[in-house]
Structure formats: structure tokens, C-alpha cells
Homo-oligomer: A and B are copies of this chain.
Amino acid sequence: MILEVAILDIKDGQNEAFESAFSKAQVYISCQKGYISHELQHCLEQPNRYILLVNWESLEDHTIGFRQSAEYQEWKQLLHYFYDPFPEVWHFTKIKP
């Protein structure tokens, strides 16, 4: 299992519009092969900041499967406008106990 992590800083004054767009966009990620779960959380210290956490079965389910899908174009169109700057995305795996 892979955890996708993106710290999302959005343009000033756009929280409500961004959250509304995200609530529409999330259907385009939830239907992907290898998608397990996701959550969007809002930062207490920086009101323009969110974190997106997505669990995938494999790295490629995100980086190839989702990013090359038709649904990614819809996701982009709904969300990319809000980002300032454009976010870095990292992937993590659990530490073996």
C-alpha cells in the first residue's frame, strides 16, 4: 500500500470554492483502479493550506493509472486553478515493524 501526500496551498479567499470543487472532484479519484481511500484535511496554522492523503494499492495506480486517465483531466480542470504554488506530491510506504 502506498500513501500519496500533497500539501495544497490555495489562493487567498478561495477556501469555500476549493472545498466545493474538491467535493465534486473526489468522485474522479475514488473510481480509479487501485484506489483505497482518501481524505482532505484543513490546516489549523495556515488557513490557505490543506493536506490530501490518498491510499493506493501501488505507486503506478496513482502515477500511471490515475494520471493517464480521462478522469484526471476532470480532476485537473476542477482543482488546479486553486493551487498557489503548484504542489509537490510524495509517496510513502509503511515502515516494516
Chain A interface, DSSP helix/strand/loop, else mixed? strand
Q: Is A67 positioned at the interface, with any CB of B under 8 Å from its CB?
A: no
Task: Report the copy number of this chain in the oligomer.
Answer: 2
Of A35-43, A68-76, A79-87, the segment with at least 4 beta carbons within 8 Å of chain B is: A35-43
The number of residues on chain A lying at the interface, defined by a beta carbon within 8 Å of a beta carbon of chain B, is 26
Extra A-B contacts (10), CB below 8 Å, given A40-B95, A44-B91: A3-B41, A3-B51, A39-B94, A41-B92, A41-B95, A42-B93, A42-B95, A44-B59, A44-B92, A46-B90
Give 10 nearest A-B pairs by CB, closest first: A41-B92, A44-B91, A51-B92, A40-B95, A43-B90, A43-B92, A41-B94, A3-B41, A45-B90, A42-B95
